Chains A and B, each alone.
Chain A
Amino acid sequence: MSLQEAPAAEIIRQTAVDLGVKIKSGELSSVEVTRAHLDRIAEVDGELHAFLYVDGERALASAARIDAKIAAGETVGPLAGVPLALKDILTYTGAPTTCGSKILEGWLPPYNATVTRRLLDHDIVILGKTNLDEFAMGSSTENSAYGPTRNPWDFDRIPGGSGGGSAAAVAAFEAPLAIGTDTGGSIRQPAAVTGTVGVKPTYGGSSRFGLVALASSLDQPGPCARTVLDAALLHQVIAGHDPCDSTSIDQPVPDVVGAARSADITGMKVGVVREFAGEGYAPGVEQRFREAVDLLASLGAEIIEVSCPHFVYALPAYYLILPAECSSNLAKFDAMRFGLRVGDDGIASAEQVMAATREAGFGAEVKRRIIIGTYALSSGYYEAYYGQAQKVRTLISRDFDDAFSQVDVLVSPSTPITAFKIGEKVDDPLAMYMNDLCTIPSNLAGNASASFPVGLAPEDGLPVGLQVMAPPLADDRLYRVGAVLEATLESAWGGPLLDRLPEPGAAR
């Protein structure tokens, strides 16, 4: 990077909190900050491909408006003027919402998601829409109809999924903040493999209105960031009751910002999930996880090994419940009211046009899951598959109830392995599904969970994440653990983990 670019290079490496403070004090303008990030996107995103749509002009116009607001002495929130990357499964009027699918290519939504509206109400600058596995079905972004996102740590590897675009954008300093959505790990697993922070709020903690539904009983929007406090501030902005989402919780948002600032876990009981270790776990993942647990113990936590015997059945139950819900949710893509339509030659029937459109518009993984869902819900198989999976869901919730009667939080590796090579698992759906082994139970039970970076695996130099799970509406506990880990690890490392990130594409 040349010397005259240094100021922009300094801007993009700052935290959202610091940027917010400087924008408010006038030390930096939101326009300056927004432009620095847009320049960064222009510089690295050609290869990284974290964004599906960059909304540069509108972002700069919003930034100018926010600068004027601040100059006029208006009261603004802590993230006013700070840029953000929005996962392309949440609607934002004026920009296409594709969900990574050809069936919605170029679709301009007529309304804003509640999450989007809250971001705009809090004067956050939306830079654009980020890449994802089609309709959030995947763990690598390889299922995006618009091509995969790369991992900033190694461009030959996956950035996780489905929210690989949001995680990669944050890790590569294209944006200090991003929004993800987590159905089975789509915020936490990308956070883990990119060395960033990702939080899935309690189900119902943030609104699903305007989030194009994958599995309605599991989907949950949440924050992606480079630091724990940044994630907490974004969590605070997007969370809270929304009458437009009938499963939204009408209770105060837990004090996540206070928890992130307190960074105290003295006396906290931390349960280590016995079932999430051993065969299938990379040695470096297990090593960094163990070290982090030891660290928590040395900082005053009481470590207790906990068994959750039904967690091993979470993966099969999930791959019945999710396809069942998605096969009905995606029935709305029928070529009639929005999106793609093919084969409408004046002769073909609506049903034929529908079938031809869905064939042309959906990718392989979406078809696989719709067909599995159709099978699981069909008469004769319903009880053996979907019915049984719903019982497993009960057993998993009971495991959590038992565990949380003994401990305040549970911890495990966020994902069994570090980032794998692009293309390595595309033809093996079952191997791909294993990436979400540790993250799925929390979705099935609807509690709060997060992934925090705990170092690089010695064998491959790639990031490892530690997952924290807390009871419903105890989201603040995630931030207490995350903040303690972050402060202690960064002082041991001499700086953030992302300081060790190679300049994107440098190694190639």
Chain B
Amino acid sequence: MPEHSPSTPEVTVPPISLWRRGMNLLVTIAAAGAVILVLLPLGAIFAYLVFKGISSLNWAFLTQTPKPVGEPGGGMANAIAGTGLILLIASSMGVPIGIGAGIYLAEYGRNRLGDLIRFTADVLNGVPSIVVGIVAYGIVVLTQGHFSALAGGVALAIMMIPTITRATEEMLLLVPNAVREAAYGLGVSRWRTTLSITLRTATSGVITGVMLAFARVAGETAPLLFTAFGNQYWNWKINQPTAALSLQVFTYAISPFDEWHRQAWAGALILIVMIVLAVTAVRIVASRGMLKGAN
């Protein structure tokens, strides 16, 4: 290539002032400090749970039902399964309803009804969980005549819905209108565009919202107190009282027995591990279909 670039004019760059350098350092340290402050409580809680709970954690704890007071050993296997069952029921109701409502708000909800739903969802998000439990008690337990996993699932689903709805709406609104227009331009109908194009484009964000809601309700105790109720034995029927880890931890923690206290720590540890595993598993499954360069 021929050399014909003009000679660079002499520009003297002033040295970066001490003040700017100091400020830069300060802000960097502040940001790093904020990250540590966020991570510290999580790390501390987890470390303390491991410290307190690991000694009671053994194969029997994961496979056996609770033993009567005074008898050593026993476990929380029925509560682990119960938590899984209740969360399954809650998710199978809360996720589709939440995503559906989010789709309505984002794609059709630019009107009075939409504003009303948005307001309702935000209020519902702030309702104390014990109140949600009372609602589920009124709807399910009173009509059925007994406590059940279903009632617990309904309570948790009600708590999941507003979070998922708002997250789905936000994520769908982030999808550029040009993407919808591209689909309309191909002769794709509106509902098909919403499901196959808009929702698909927003998938990873919607999943984040769902997992947030899931993780939040997984450890809820109050709404289960008089819905799922708890159970000392195995139960797989959705219309029977069911044990849940959070309930079991609560019962054991307020008991006067040292053995039960130790088991409560182990139960709390298992609960956190279960939530982390579930969230990670969903992330891995969801990212399997991702393409290079997709955003």
A binds B: no
Residues of B within 8 A of A (CB): none
Residues of A within 8 A of B (CB): none
